[in-house]
Structures are given as C-alpha cells and as structure tokens.
Chains A and B, each alone.
Chain A
Amino acid sequence: DAKTTQPTSMDCAEGRAANLPCNHSTISGNEYVYWYRQIHSQGPQYIIHGLKNNETNEMASLIITEDRKSSTLILPHATLRDTAVYYCIVRTPSTGNQFYFGTGTSLTVIP
C-alpha cells in the first residue's frame, strides 16, 4: 500500500517555481523518498530521491523535513512540458524495493 498522500491537483504559472508537497508521516528510518512523474500515456520518469538530506539535480530540488514526515519537490522554473502527474513514493529496502504508487498530484503549468 502507498504510504504517501499528495494533493490531487495543482496549477502553476509558467516560469514560476512549482512546489509539490507530499506527506509520509509513517516513514521509517531506512525508507527513501522518491519522486517520479508521468506524462499522459507514457511510462513514469525518475526525477529525484532522498533519505534525510535535501537533494538537488538538474531537474528539481527535494526538501525533506527534519522529522522526515513530509517533503516538497521543487521545480524551480516550470515550463509547459512539466505538466504531468507527479508521484511521491516511499521505497522500503527490506521488502524488495517495490514501489507502491499513490494517487499523485496532477500539475498543470499555465501559460
């Protein structure tokens, strides 16, 4: 079962930062937070992941709260091509590394 909750949908103006929240209040100490996105009728695309520290790559930044019960994915300058469903997933190393997807957040970037 998915261990995350996300808002169903969000809008963001093109060029502005998109901040997507995720709640994972039951996360355990060895569980990682992963973010993927899915553009319509395509396979999910990896964005970023983290354990405790904040992470940044060429696509996004991941901010994890100190208690690790929530995180925020930040797309610094949203473009129309960032319109997609964004999934926050908790990976459990001890049970085979399966991903259980929640409902995700449908992000619409508005011109």
Chain B
Amino acid sequence: GAVVSQHPSRVICKSGTSVKIECRSLDFQATTMFWYRQFPKKSLMLMATSNEGSKATYEQGVEKDKFLINHASLTLSTLTVTSAHPEDSSFYICSASSTSSYEQYFGPGTRLTVT
C-alpha cells in the first residue's frame, strides 16, 4: 500500500522559534497533501490543503502566516510553525492523495511540544 512518512516524529522547541515538519509520499506521486492537527483526546482538524506547485488553501481560522505550507514536489510537503507558542503544542498529521486514487494515506504524525 501507499506509504507516507513524516519527519521528525517528535520535536521540542522553545517559544518564539520556528519548526519545520516534513511529509513525504514514498511510493506514489501525491498531487494533493493535507495537514491536520489533533489535540489530546480530540479528533483530527483539517488545517490546509496543498496542491503541488500552487499555494495552500487554509481552513477558516487557521493563520496562513503562522503555519507556512510548501508543496514543492510531488513527493514532499512541509509545514513550518513560525514563532511557536505553547498553545501550538499538538500532534500534527499529514496525508497525501493522488489523482488515481482519492483515498488519503496518512503519515504517522509529529508530536510538537513548545516549551
């Protein structure tokens, strides 16, 4: 089956710094990638949709200047949390899909802790 990886799996950063999370599709070309965040004991919340080579579309209430998304190739999307604060601590999950199959294949997630 299709495999999506994320790096890092865990990251701790200080308040005010920026952190980048990578999402890669390992064995297929991902024309669309999605970014979610998940708080403890809560469901996944869609943050943004990104199509290769174009700007990401953010969901209502998600600050695009704070959560920078780049989808420069068909196998890589990055999420950069800028000027992180403790309230940004969360589980960030990406998913990827291709035009041949609309299933979304999810990465294993990245646990971000901002101190």
Asked if A44 and B57 make an inter-chain contact with CB atoms under 8 angstroms apart, the answer reads no
Q: How far apart are B22's CB and chain A's nearest CB, in angstroms? A: 14
Asked if A43 and B46 make an inter-chain contact with CB atoms under 8 angstroms apart, the answer reads no
- Among A61-111, those with CB < 8 Å from B are 87, 91, 93, 96-104
Q: How far apart are A39's CB and chain B's nearest CB, in angstroms? A: 11
* Residue of A whose beta carbon sits closest to that of B102: A97
A2 to B59, CA, bound (A): 13
A2 to B49, CA, bound (A): 16
Asked if A44 and B44 make an inter-chain contact with CB atoms under 8 angstroms apart, the answer reads yes
Contacts A96-B49, A96-B57, A97-B97 given; indicate if A102 touches B106 (C-beta within 8 A).
no
Asked if A98 and B44 make an inter-chain contact with CB atoms under 8 angstroms apart, the answer reads no
Asked if B109 and A97 make an inter-chain contact with CB atoms under 8 angstroms apart, the answer reads no
Number of interface residues of B (CB under 8 A): 25
Asked if A45 and B43 make an inter-chain contact with CB atoms under 8 angstroms apart, the answer reads no
- Among A30-64, those with CB < 8 Å from B are 32, 34, 36, 38, 41-46, 49
The SS class assigned to the A binding surface is loop
Interface size band for A: 20 to 34
Cβ contacts under 8 Å, B102 to chain A: 32, 91, 93, 97
A42 to B4, CA, bound (A): 12
The chain A residues found within 8 Å of chain B, CB to CB, are: 2, 32, 34, 36, 38, 41-46, 49, 87, 91, 93, 96-104
Identify 18 residue pairs between A and B in the complex whose beta-carbon atoms are under 8 Å apart, listed by A's number.
A41-B111, A43-B6, A43-B107, A44-B44, A45-B106, A46-B104, A49-B103, A87-B44, A93-B102, A96-B57, A97-B32, A98-B46, A99-B95, A99-B104, A100-B46, A101-B36, A101-B45, A104-B43
